[in-house]
Structure 1
Amino acid sequence: MSSDSLLYEVALGLLPGVGDLLTRQLISYCGSAKAVFTTPKGKLLKIPGIGPTFVQNFNPTPALQQAETTIKLAEEQQVQLLFYTNPAYPNRLKHLADAPCLLFYKGNVDLNHSKMVSIVGTRQATDYGRRITEKIVTDLQKHQPVIVSGLAYGIDILAHRAAVAAGLPTLGIMASGPDIIYPAVHRKTAEKMLENGGLITENTFGTKPDAPRFPARNRIIAGLGDCTIIVEAAIKGGALITADIAHSYNRDVMAVPGNIDNAVSEGCNFLIKTNKAAIYTELRDLEELLNWDNALAPSTAKFSKASLYNVEEFEPDEWQIIKLLLSMKEELIDNIAWKVQIPVSRLASVLLGLEFKGVVKSLPGKKYALV
């Protein structure tokens, strides 16, 4: 990817009023981040979600200048800037509507590793929580997954340290900028993680870990994991927020049962009792839930229906649409555009071709589904 493209990708999210959803919308209609900055204002007004106020206040200069500074800092600190169109960007996040469009990543692990498990829990971990966390990670060695957590006190840092000790790659998802390790006492662990794993954040350099950034950080943890395991959690707190987010992403959630008279087990027991989480008592529970006990990797198992179609009969763009629609009943054309990264201007003709082939059908409300 050229540095010129990266400049506009970083700058796009710095424009006033442009968040992750609107970024994807703009690129779906304009074709690229750079094209957004060169599209006539009259055409911008025709894009859903773009109003006259945005067009009137459209001034790219400050955003481009700030983007140059960000790119320079990234180069100096060996931080990778991963826009969602970058092949190295995590595929597990790419199809999530609220996922960050730009990630700041420092590390050496493949963000599209075949197996990833998120482990989170209370900051007030008990000896039981510590022991179970270490056992879960140690047992997972046979599968060599990436262990994902939030670098926080308690269960999070225990999961990271157990992964480091077990030789498993581990990713820390931060609520701060890539240059600020929080809490600072975990810096040594974070540095060890960079040897086999890494650190990820959606926040730019110098961003402090303000309270609202932690729930936002949790959606990345939930989105990256094939399964999120809650080890210990109170009835209210970040761990249960992460579990709810994972549910909304249609990802598996597991919870470790605990003492009924212990406050830090109330959340886990509640998740199990209300069928919001599968119970975790041993590795076998996870293996069965994710189909890790057979020859199919999780990603392959979920898309096994693709075998009903002959990939050789379709163009690459057509096949991407088929795979997307296999994972859901129906989808809006605008969402299809950014999820498979085909501009709306071209997507309509590709969908029409699939309709002629009898593969997809159009539905009311500009939605499409497989026949």
Structure 2
Amino acid sequence: MNDEELLHVLALLKVEGVGDIIAKKLLSHFGSATAVFNAKASQMASIDGVGSVLLKKLKDKTIFEKAIQELKFIKENTIDVAFFMDEKYPDRLKHCIDGPVLLFSNGNIDFKNRKIISIVGTRQITSYGTEFCKKLIADLAPLNPIIVSGFAYGVDIVAHQAALEHNLQTIGVLAHGLNQIYPKTHKKYVSKIEENGGFMTEFWSSSNPEKENFVKRNRIVAGISEATIVIESADKGGSLITANIANDYNRDVFAVPGRTSDKYSQGCNNLIKTQKANLLSSAADILYILNWDIEKKVKPVQKQLFVTLDQDEQKVYDYLQKNGKELLDTVALQCDFPIYRISGLLLNMELKGVIRPLPGKLFEAI
């Protein structure tokens, strides 16, 4: 896209009442933003959602003043701009009707032929959530996925750091312009992320991290990836909004289960209970559900060394190790446990990393 067309796209996005959906309609209909501004009223009348009020606002010259200022910022700071019709625009985001018309980024982001997952969760991450997140990314590292998150406190920054530790590309999706970093305490991570990934946003340099921006940001996090993973969440929070958006986009969602008494497991447990997320106990679950190549590209997930099993857990583990994949009901019958008891045992064993669930209520020893 040349500078003149970019200027007109920026100006179009500054027209009051023109959001991403209407902007895409206009651009698709006329072929370019320059043509939109040169179009006659009669040509505009046939487009759904474009009325006489919007036509008047397209004539507002102040929108070009703002666009010129932003174009100057883009040029002076060598910001990369991806237009929603460009090849370099994230492929999965192209299929989201409300995806941004423009994405601004810096760093060394490369989406080509890559597996992409988003990891989100509470800003009040617990030691359990931290360890799970780190191990998950370590186990997925042989597949070289891109790790996307929101660069916030808690789960976000743990995911970014874990990705960097394993030389994985990681992308921070921001709720403000690229002229600032929020939270400021995370500035120390910026250079490393830009070396192996980068930052992305739809917001202009004049945009601050306002509350509503974070909700808009979440649709990029959900839309850009193959799956969204919720590590920990209370019963309300931004990560649940991201999970719901991912469901609306028909993307896979995973949630890490926890004790019902734990505040920051309530959101994940509810997602699983309402069938809005797959239960995530290990990296193997992601590989299976997403149909990633397990045999050729990643080492089998090993059970943890020196895991302590109680007598009942050991009985179940020995049975699964001997018999392979088995139905929950069969395990209960053969091990002589009631269903409610076997369900609790299997969940504890999943969390210890010695068994894994499979579709159809099947379980197997790792």
Distance 1:122 1:108, change over 3 A: same
Say whether 1:88 aligns with 2:88: yes
SS at match of 1:281: coil
Give distance in 2, aligned partners of 1:294 and 1:159. 22
1:234–1:267 Cα contact (<8 Å) kept: yes
Say whether 1:158 aligns with 2:158: yes
1:37–1:60 Cα contact (<8 Å) kept: no
What displacement does 1:156 show?
0.5
Say whether 1:211 aligns with 2:211: yes
What displacement does 1:6 show?
1.5
Say whether 1:100 aligns with 2:100: yes
Q: How does 1:1-371 map to 2 (within 5 A)?
A: 1-59=1-59, 61-293=61-293
Give distance in 1, aligned partners of 2:16 and 2:49. 14
Aligned to 1:352: none
What displacement does 1:45 show?
1.8
2:15–2:57 Cα contact (<8 Å) kept: no
The one-letter code sitting in structure 1 at the alignment partner of 2:74 is A
Give distance in 1, aligned partners of 2:83 and 2:12. 11
1:231–1:255 Cα contact (<8 Å) kept: yes
Give the aligned CA root-mean-square deviation in angstroms.
1.6
What displacement does 1:187 show?
1.0
What displacement does 1:251 show?
0.2
TM-score in terms of structure 1 length: 0.77
| Larger of the two Rg values belongs to structure | 2
TM-score in terms of structure 2 length: 0.78
Distance 1:112 1:281, change over 3 A: same
Deviations 1:116-158 (A, max 9, x none): 0100110110011111111111111111010000001100000
Deviations 1:170-225 (A, max 9, x none): 00011111111110101111221000101011110031111111111111100111
Distance 1:257 1:16, change over 3 A: same
Distance 1:73 1:295, change over 3 A: farther
Identity level (%) = 43
What displacement does 1:29 show?
1.5
Deviations 1:218-273 (A, max 9, x none): 11100111011111111110111111000000000001111221100111111112
For structure 2, the 5+ residue unaligned runs are 298-366
1:9–1:83 Cα contact (<8 Å) kept: no
Give distance in 2, aligned partners of 1:258 and 1:112. 35
What displacement does 1:12 show?
1.3
Give distance in 1, aligned partners of 2:144 and 2:227. 14
Give distance in 2, aligned partners of 1:235 and 1:203. 29
Give distance in 1, aligned partners of 2:120 and 2:65. 38
Runs of 4+ residues deviating >4 angstroms: 294-297
Give distance in 2, aligned partners of 1:239 and 1:112. 26
Give distance in 2, aligned partners of 1:226 and 1:270. 22
For structure 1, the 5+ residue unaligned runs are 298-371
- Higher RCO (C-alpha 8 Å, min separation 6): 1
What displacement does 1:62 show?
2.2
